[in-house]
Amino acid sequence: MNTKVTIRTGTREDLPRVLELIKELAEYERASHEVINTVALMEKDGFGPNPIYGLFVAETARGIMGISIYYWRYSTWKGKRLYLEDIVVTEKERGKGMGKLLFERTMQHALDENCSGMMWQVLEWNEPAINFYKKYGTKLDDEWVNGTLEADQIRAYFTRQA
């Protein structure tokens, strides 16, 4: 990598750029219509009295070019785990080692926080990401099916039950 990259803990002032990168990832994953998050929500959720996520940013002289967003998860079998929600490197900077720096900083944070490990998801068609993770000896699981309920679905369920 020719450009000097600094990996640091993200701040609330970084959030507008962080949200831009999140939207860039959503577009790459063909799901930009799914993004409902806002800077205000991210500020409340990450920098309020009870933060529920943390983040690292990859910064160059040109600004923030990548992010790693994580939160804590608890496994009844393994205890405290770091859940890597997203690593995003802006498209023009991919393949230059920035994702590696972010991922390794996040791995170190899991150790620093006495986690039993870390976990994340990757889309089955995202070959570049899968190949990246395999370099670390990652176990990719094909047994579990993801479940999701959106808030409007939960409300509709309870409305039907009333």
Instruction: Convert the pLDDT of each residue in 120-152 to its tens digit.
Output: 999 888 898 999 999 999 988 888 877 888 888
Give the C-alpha separation, 5 to 100, whole Å.
11
The topology under which CATH files domain 6-161 is Aminopeptidase (3.40.630)
**What CA–CA distances, in Å, run from 17 to 23, 24, 42, 60?**
10, 11, 12, 13
Q: What is the pLDDT of residues 5-31, one digit of tens each?
A: 999 999 999 999 999 999 999 999 899
- Answer yes or no: are the C-beta atoms of 1 and 99 closer than 8 Å: no
Domain boundaries of the chain, sorted by first residue = 6-161
- Smallest Cα–Cα separation from 121: which of 83, 76, 73, 91? 83
Q: Across all residues in the chain, what is the average pLDDT?
A: 93
**Residue numbers annotated as active site:** 133
